[in-house]
């Protein structure tokens, strides 16, 4: 078969301070930079869904028609310009090329300036060209906000099973296997889906710990026993539109088996509702506890600065945790990454061994955050080029622009020109910081850092310093969310939410 393939990924926090421009996708910001045509096929060796799909499709002898792949770090809305330019390239290829099927590597939680449901809109535009009979499958992020429109328009949607997302390429492979079954049967699969009636905090979604770990173990057992494809997307609880929230869904050729499997998984999720809550520390509590643990630890104590995670829409530049480290006299501590291009440039002008007077970062606009004014010693400089050696983007090259390590008292701060989540140890090393030698590491991340850092961590703490991504979704100023959904596990009920998503 000839299969047209393309990718367009963005996780949108509508409460975040900075939008995703076209340049954000060109840079990638932790994703592979934007690529077109034959260059898309070079992603076959990268841990992204399209890479896994390419590998399997080529091995099966299919001909691929690569169009474009574009991803950018989580942020506020995708600009109209960026959405229309990238979606437009995909649609131009759909109109002009000759092919038998389509695979799209999507996120599932994209909101553009002019469109609530970025993926549903893209699928609708594609369907308007190719019609209802063309096989159309897509992979989704675990944090997808799956909409009815997406379910209606795709023949199959397959989501990640891990957070940290170490199975991105594997999800592309799973999507290909579902695609093969779909084509072999010569018709559409049966489908069932249920919407969970409460929002889940991002930190609770980590599949390395309960209850998410057990939930995905049951998902695997149900897939095997019922011969179905199952997905559970806990959602991205920071997109203010009516269909934000968790959804469980599945496909198969036995309608009863699909319905039973989806229902069983749904019942486990709602039965475990109290377990989806998360306990957070204040910045001072986290630092004091890290210092206590660090006295007898052979490995670093890691603090997740979760509310400024650029992977969920933060700008990676709040100073709350840095101030807490300084206030409590922490020693041999490192913080990364702080996104401040002006500070990085000033450090490069001063040179290694020099000092700079700065008002560092702290420009989130969030109450309680402000720049850190002080004198910093420049300990290390680099051009910001590095390679990902951790599990998530293993082998991919990355670029942060000019990078500096700034030291103030006992705290080293890795400062970058390009924004990126701290999910790979090499993001410290590019700033001259050896993470294994630190007593305390403060990572601008929520969960992804665990993939590469858990092996070197004595313990992991989660702190709630002021930042643009509320760790507790009930703290957000929702205006357009479905009034029936509870804003947190065990939160006050806001009415009954229709549990079953029905195809019209």
The answer to whether the Cα torsion of 320, 325, 326, 328 is positive or negative is positive
Identify the pLDDT of residue 70.
Answer: 98
The span from the CA of 172 to the CA of 139, in Å, is: 6
Q: 3-class SS at 108? A: coil
Identify the pLDDT of residue 498.
Answer: 44
Strand partners, 195: 247
The span from the CA of 137 to the CA of 101, in Å, is: 8
pTM above 0.95, yes or no: no
The span from the CA of 233 to the CA of 144, in Å, is: 6
Contact 331, 439 (CB under 8 A): yes
- 118-130 vs 80-96: helix axis angle to the nearest 10? 20
DSSP 440: E
Read off the pLDDT of residues 266-305 as tens digits, 9 standing for 90 and up. 999 999 999 999 989 999 999 999 999 999 999 999 999 9
For the chain, domain boundaries: 2-198+237-245, 283-463
DSSP string, 30-59: TBPPPEEGGGGGGGGGSSSHHHHHHHHHHH
The residue count of the chain comes to 504
Binned average pLDDT, 10 residues per bin, the chain of 504 residues? 98 94 93 96 95 98 98 96 98 98 98 98 98 97 98 98 97 98 89 96 96 98 96 97 97 96 98 95 98 96 97 94 98 98 98 98 93 98 96 90 98 97 97 98 97 97 93 90 92 54 38
Q: Show the tokens assigned to 398.
A: 């990355």
- CATH entry 3.40.50.2300 includes domain 2-198+237-245: yes
The span from the CA of 84 to the CA of 477, in Å, is: 28
Identify the pLDDT of residue 501.
Answer: 46
Contact 336, 361 (CB under 8 A): no
How far is residue 105 from each of residues 43, 160, 394, measured CA to CA in Å? 12, 12, 19
The span from the CA of 34 to the CA of 22, in Å, is: 10
Identify the pLDDT of residue 494.
Answer: 54
Identify the pLDDT of residue 493.
Answer: 53
The span from the CA of 408 to the CA of 410, in Å, is: 6
Taking alpha carbons only, the member of 385, 404, 411, 215 closest to residue 303 is 411
């Amino acid at each position: 078969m000839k299969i047209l393939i393309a990718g367009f990924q963005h996780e949108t926090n509508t409460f975040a301070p900075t939008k995703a421009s076209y340049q954000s996708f060109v840079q990638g910001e932790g994703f592979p930079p934007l690529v077109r045509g034959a260059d898309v096929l070079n992603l076959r060796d990268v841990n992204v869904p399209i890479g896994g799909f390419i590998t399997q499709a080529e091995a099966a002898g299919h001909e691929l028609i690569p169009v474009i792949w574009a991803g950018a770090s989580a942020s506020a809305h995708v600009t109209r310009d960026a959405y229309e330019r990238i979606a437009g390239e995909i649609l131009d290829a759909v109109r002009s090329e000759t092919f038998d099927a389509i695979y799209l590597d999507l996120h599932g939680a994209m909101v553009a300036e002019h469109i609530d449901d970025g993926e549903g809109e893209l699928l609708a535009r594609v369907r308007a060209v190719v019609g209802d009979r063309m096989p159309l499958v897509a992979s989704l992020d675990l944090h997808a906000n799956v909409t009815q429109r997406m379910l209606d328009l795709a023949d199959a949607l397959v989501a990640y099973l891990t957070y940290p997302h170490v199975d991105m390429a594997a999800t592309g492979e799973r999507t290909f296997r579902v695609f093969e079954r779909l084509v072999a049967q010569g018709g559409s699969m049966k489908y069932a889906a249920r919407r969970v009636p409460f929002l889940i905090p991002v930190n609770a979604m980590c599949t390395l710990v309960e209850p998410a770990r057990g939930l995905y173990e049951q998902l695997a057992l149900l897939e095997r026993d019922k011969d179905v494809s199952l997905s559970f997307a806990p959602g991205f609880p920071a997109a203010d539109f009516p269909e934000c929230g968790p959804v469980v869904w599945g496909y198969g050729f036995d309608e009863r088996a699909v319905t039973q499997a989806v229902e069983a998984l749904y019942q486990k999720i709602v039965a475990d509702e109290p377990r989806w809550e998360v306990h957070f520390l204040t910045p001072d509590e986290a630092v004091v506890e890290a210092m206590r643990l660090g006295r007898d630890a052979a490995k670093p104590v890691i603090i997740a600065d979760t509310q400024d995670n650029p992977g969920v829409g933060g700008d990676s530049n709040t100073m709350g945790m840095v101030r807490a480290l300084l206030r409590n006299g922490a020693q041999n501590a490192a913080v990364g990454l702080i996104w401040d291009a002006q500070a990085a440039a000033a450090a490069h002008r001063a040179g290694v061994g020099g000092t700079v007077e700065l008002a560092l970062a702290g420009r989130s606009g969030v109450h309680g955050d402000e720049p850190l004014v002080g004198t910093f010693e420049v300990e290390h400089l680099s051009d910001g080029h590095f390679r990902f050696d951790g599990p998530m983007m293993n082998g991919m090259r990355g670029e942060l622009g000019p990078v500096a390590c700034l030291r103030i008292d006992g705290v080293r701060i890795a400062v970058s020109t390009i924004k990126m989540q701290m999910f790979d140890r090499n993001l410290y090393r590019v700033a001259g910081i050896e993470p294994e030698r630190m007593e305390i590491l403060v990572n601008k991340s929520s969960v992804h850092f665990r993939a590469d850092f858990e092996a070197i961590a004595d313990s992991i703490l989660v702190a709630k310093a002021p930042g643009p991504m509320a760790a507790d979704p009930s703290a957000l100023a929702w205006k357009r969310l479905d009034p029936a959904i509870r804003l947190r596990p065990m939160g006050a009920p806001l009415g009954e939410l229709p549990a079953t998503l029905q195809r019209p």
